[in-house]
């Protein structure tokens, strides 16, 4: 059960970090200068082309190592980075690449006139983002982001490979101790499935909320 809690914590943290990176990345890709655009294109392409498992290993070891080296170089003591923080950072970095693409697509789907109108009203870029772009893109982004959230919950299982204690690893240990492999992995599968189904339900509610005032999909067709 502690494992499940850890899994959910990491998934939530990673999705939040991914959303932040994604919003920034999408803005950079749409409005940034040529250098920023190319760098972001390289980031999303590379992250999406390399298996998550490899990325997790690379970032998990390289990330903690780099931070420690930087700290020692600056004369601080080495810190022990908690698995939770590292896991959130790594998965967030991966999620960021995917959500950049989703959010970029969603921002492009907003009728251009809305953004132009907001600019014409003299809104500052921050206000424009908060009041117009984010709310208006939400209905377009929710299905893609929901997929990402489900992927994030399932990717947390991969952290078991680097030895972080979450649901998959907890199950494996419990199964190894009791020798009842089938029962425990089955139970873990059911837990993940329940998590997915529950979040599907919540996402349905959120989507309905974000689409309020818009014609329903069936009518639009």
Which parts of this chain interact with another protein (CB under 8 A)?
34-35, 38-39, 42, 46, 49-55, 57-58, 61-62, 65, 150, 153-158, 160-161, 168, 171-172, 175, 179, 181-183, 185-186, 188-189, 192-193, 196-197
φ, ψ of residue 217 in degrees (nearest 5): -60, -35
Q: For another protein, which is the closer residue by CB, 172 or 211?
A: 172
Minimum CB separation from another protein for residue 166, in Å? 11
Minimum CB separation from another protein for residue 99, in Å? 16
Q: For another protein, which is the closer residue by CB, 64 or 133?
A: 64
- Exposure of 41 by Cβ count < 10 A (0-12 exposed, 13-18 middle, 19+ buried)? middle
Minimum CB separation from another protein for residue 131, in Å? 33
Q: For another protein, which is the closer residue by CB, 40 or 118?
A: 40
Q: For another protein, which is the closer residue by CB, 24 or 32?
A: 32
Place of tokens 């919950």: 153
Contact indicator for 157, 168 with CB cutoff of 8 Å: yes
Tokens matching residue 181: 């492999």
- Of 206, 210, 209, nearest to 137 (Cα)? 210
Report the Cα 46 to chain-centroid distance in Å: 16
Minimum CB separation from another protein for residue 58, in Å? 5
* DSSP structural state of residue 130: I
Report the Cα 149 to chain-centroid distance in Å: 6
Q: For another protein, which is the closer residue by CB, 46 or 108?
A: 46
Minimum CB separation from another protein for residue 34, in Å? 5
C-alpha–C-alpha distance, residues 30 and 40, integer Å: 10
């Amino acid at each position: 059960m502690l494992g499940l809690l850890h899994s959910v914590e990491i998934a939530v943290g990673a999705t939040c970090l991914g959303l932040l990176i994604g919003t920034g990345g999408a803005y950079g890709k749409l409005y940034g200068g040529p250098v920023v655009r190319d760098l972001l294109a390289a980031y999303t392409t590379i992250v999406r082309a390399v298996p998550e498992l490899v990325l997790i290993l690379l970032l998990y070891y390289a990330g903690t190592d780099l931070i420690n080296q930087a700290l020692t170089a600056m004369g601080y003591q080495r810190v022990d980075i908690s698995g939770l923080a590292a896991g959130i950072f790594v998965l967030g970095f991966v999620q960021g690449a995917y959500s950049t693409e989703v959010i970029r697509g969603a921002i492009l789907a907003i009728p251009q006139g809305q953004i132009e109108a907001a600019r014409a009203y003299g809104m500052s870029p921050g206000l424009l983002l908060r009041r117009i772009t984010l709310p208006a893109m939400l209905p377009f982004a929710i299905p893609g982001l929901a997929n990402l959230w489900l992927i994030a919950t399932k990717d947390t299982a991969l952290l078991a490979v680097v030895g972080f204690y979450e649901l998959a690893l907890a199950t494996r240990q419990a199964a190894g101790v009791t020798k009842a492999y089938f029962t425990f992995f089955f139970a873990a599968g059911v837990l993940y499935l329940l998590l997915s189904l529950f979040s599907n339900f919540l996402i349905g509610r959120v989507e309905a909320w974000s689409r309020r005032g818009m014609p329903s999909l069936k009518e639009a067709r």
